[in-house]
Amino acid sequence: MKNTKRGFTLVELLVVIAIIGMLVALLLPAIQQARESARRMQCANKLKQLSLGIHNYESAHKGFPYGCYSWADDCDPARWDGSTKRWYEDHNWYSYVMAYIDQTAIHQMIDFDYMMSHVKNYEARTTKCPNFSCPSDIGQVENEWNHKNWAKLRSNYVCNWGNTNYAQTNIGSPGTDEDLDGEGYDPNNQRFRGAPFVPKRNNPMQRIKDGLSNTLMMSETLVLPHTGSAWGGPISEVSVSVGGQTFNGFRTPNSEDGDSVIQHPSAAICASNGIPTPKKVSGHLNQIFTARSHHPGGVNASRCDGAVSFYSDDISAFVWQALSTAAGTEQIKKEDEI
């Protein structure tokens, strides 16, 4: 009897392909979820190392480093001479912490007698530092704009500026420039009540009256691609205004309310990295920048004791604002923080 080898029919082949396709479709979300989980853990580890670096700085200098330089210094571009220090282009906590996060080589490049925009600091400000990049932020482009009068590095990690605006003042009355959300006072009637980071000086740890474990130290933000204008990519540019180095606790993580800036990046630029279009305010000191990330459901944030947790987008405004104050004496439950 003659043996014949029978191959797959076209119908059988199509069935096999369909089954394989279904299996891939079922497995792909699980694979993506596992990858994001790994990225979130890597992000948390970076935040942990930065927080430990800040603690090491505090041990050596008896205070947390400058949140930013003072806005009270000379801000007249006509008087820029390469050494006059102005708040939007001078050193902040990133520069000072380099030596404490195993980035001694970059720290040694920095000449602190000159602002970051000065040619003497060109190499320092154009050297990529992986410590400041969240692996989930696919929109980040580090150090890609280097204008002679603006020193822009990129970071996803920002320090806690408090339940306030850039001026570290109480949010204002309805109808004023400080009425940043159009609704007047903060609905929880929160006041500023201090922050762990302040401008132009080290802030002693003793000023954190709420306790280190009850006060946020750092969180995440998102980086925009730059268009070449002053605010084309503001929401995480180190050494340039509030979005470079700080976040405000006024709004909860990943708030659908846009941040408040003096000049608008375009809606398309913001949408390219999942950021709500910012609102416009009249002055630098009225700006607000919110903790944001591409981790589904929340942001990583560290507390002043160095512990890192994942905070939900659904955290109550009262709890988030309470965690953002350094001396608010608010009473919150640990189970309400997550």
Summarised one tens digit per residue, pLDDT across range 322-334 is 999 888 787 777 6
SS3 for 9? coil
Query: Is pLDDT of 48 > 90?
Result: yes
Domain that holds residue 178: 10-336
- For the chain, the 3-state helix, strand and coil shares in percent, each to the nearest 5, are 30, 10, 55
Find the angle CA(187)-CA(192)-CA(196) to the nearest 5 degrees. Answer: 130
CB atoms within 10 A of CB 73: 15
Considering 29-33, 81-85, 86-90, 182-186, the range whose residues carry the highest mean pLDDT is: 29-33
Query: How many residues appear in the chain?
Result: 338
| Mean pLDDT score, 121-147 | 71
pLDDT of residue 81: 44
Which residue has better confidence, 323 or 113? 323
Whether 81 maps to a domain, the answer reads yes
Domains held by the chain: number: 1
Whether 5 maps to a domain, the answer reads no
Query: Is pLDDT of 216 > 90?
Result: yes
- For residue 118, which of 162, 86, 96 has the smallest C-alpha distance? 86
How, if at all, do strands 246-247 and 157-160 pair?
A: parallel
Which residue has better confidence, 211 or 3? 211
pLDDT of residue 174: 42
What residues pair up with 199 in beta bridges, in sequence order?
Answer: 68
Q: What is the pTM of this model?
A: 0.77
pLDDT of residue 133: 84
| Mean pLDDT score, 120-124 | 80
| Residues 51 and 158: beta-carbon distance below 8 Å | no
| Mean pLDDT score, 197-224 | 87
Query: Is pLDDT of 57 > 60?
Result: yes
Distance CA 142, CA 163 (A): 28
Distance CA 62, CA 65 (A): 9
pLDDT of residue 214: 92
